[in-house]
Amino acid sequence: MALVVGNYSSMYAMYLATYVFFGIVLGVLVFALYDRLRAFAPSTMRIATAVGLLWSFALVTSGMVFNYGMTTIVSLADTDLTQARVAWQAIEPVAQGLGGAGGEILGGVWVLLVSWVALRSGALSKVLGWLGIAVGTMGLISIVPPLHEAAYAFGLLQIVWFVWLGVTMARKPVAAEAGWIPSASAVEL
């Protein structure tokens, strides 16, 4: 309780950036990868997109629950510290659960599916694809209670995967990757 009350502003900003903002950006990435890989495995990419959007939604929701819950208990702590503690004991597990604290199943499944399609199609480098398989596997392993610590490996390796993926996608436009050249009428504004 003292940690939350004493560090409210910095924790609020951290959750806003690492959960809410990241979740929104992840949703954009999910659609970008769908566009890039759908020609190679349409059904798998539809499933991957659904899982990726669920993960994006869960992250945004986790950050919003955490931040609003934190705002509520900081105000409540001024008048009733015991009630603030009780409220936080209900709020924090919900926010953490939505954020993947019980295991990174959504992120693991999404990265595995995307990496599997990328490996089979050759749309991304093999090493990046295999790194994605390792990242996704760590995410899935982290759902087993004695192996929750694998979530740390998932998070750290995923940062590397995201950066590498971003560089790769910036260098190779989707039209060149899928053999599709958009016409003037296909371009959305």
pLDDT at 174: 62
* Residue 100 lies in domain: 2-178
pLDDT at 100: 86
Q: Looking at the domain assignment, is residue 73 inside a domain? A: yes
| Residue type present at position 71 | T
pLDDT in tens, 32-46: 999 999 999 999 999
Rg, Å, the chain Cα set: 19
pTM of the predicted model as reported, rounded to 2 decimal places:
0.86
pLDDT class for 183, splitting at 50, 70, 90?
Answer: very low
What sign results for the dihedral spanned by CA atoms 68, 73, 78, 83? positive
| Tokens standing for residue 153 | 């490996």
Q: Looking at the domain assignment, is residue 183 inside a domain? A: no
Q: What's the distance, Cα to Cα, between the start and end of the chain in Å?
A: 48
In this model, does residue 181 exceed pLDDT 90? Answer: no
Q: Looking at the domain assignment, is residue 186 inside a domain? A: no
Tally of domains within the chain:
1
pLDDT at 160: 97
Q: 145 exposed, middle or buried (CB, 10 Å; 0-12, 13-18, 19+)?
A: exposed
Q: Looking at the domain assignment, is residue 187 inside a domain? A: no
Q: At what angle do helices 105-121 and 150-171 cross, to 10 degrees?
A: 40
Q: Looking at the domain assignment, is residue 189 inside a domain? A: no
Q: Looking at the domain assignment, is residue 184 inside a domain? A: no
Q: Looking at the domain assignment, is residue 142 inside a domain? A: yes
| Length of the chain measured in residues | 189
Q: Looking at the domain assignment, is residue 36 inside a domain? A: yes
pLDDT in tens, 4-26: 889 999 999 999 999 999 999 99
**C-alpha dist (Å) from residue 156 to 44, 90, 103, 122:** 26, 29, 14, 25
